[in-house]
Amino acid sequence: MWEQLKRSDIELAKQKLEALRSMTLSRHAEELQDLDAQRDDIETLERLADAVANRYLNAAGSPAQPSAPSEEQPTAVLVTDANEPTVPEAVQVPSPSLQVQQQVSPNFGIPLRRWVGR
């Protein structure tokens, strides 16, 4: 076998190896570009999430800034006989640490089914 190996065979092997190397490098460059684009997307998402958190979460949690009435904090309104809404003088606001838990009996549906006849 070694007697049949020619200089042209070695040159052909070098050319094939160089072609394989260039294909590998081009694939590697494409993969790096894809990874860079994904990293940029993640960094953009991180900046947006940070901006949302700073704008909405930190502003809502800071006690130094008075919060305006919103859907989360409804304002009590009294309606008089003349259908003119007025704000009551003393409104009792529950404390923020108040926790409400609802416990439904597991037997709630059974008497109803008996009454309905099912």
- Which is higher by pLDDT, 28 or 66? 28
> pLDDT by residue (tens digit) across 94-116?
677 777 777 766 666 566 566 66
Q: Can you tell me the distance from the alpha carbon of 102 to that of 99, in angstroms, rounded to the nearest whole number? A: 10
Residue-level pLDDT at 44:
95
Q: What is the mean pLDDT of residues 72-78?
A: 53
In single-letter form, the type of residue at position 50 comes to: D
Residue-level pLDDT at 1:
55
59 confidence band (pLDDT: 50, 70, 90): low
Token pair 């008996």 in the structure block, residue: 114
Q: Of 56, 83, 86, 85, give the one whose Cα is nearest residue 72.
A: 56
SS3 content of the chain, % helix, strand, coil (to 5): 55, 5, 45
Residue-level pLDDT at 3:
74
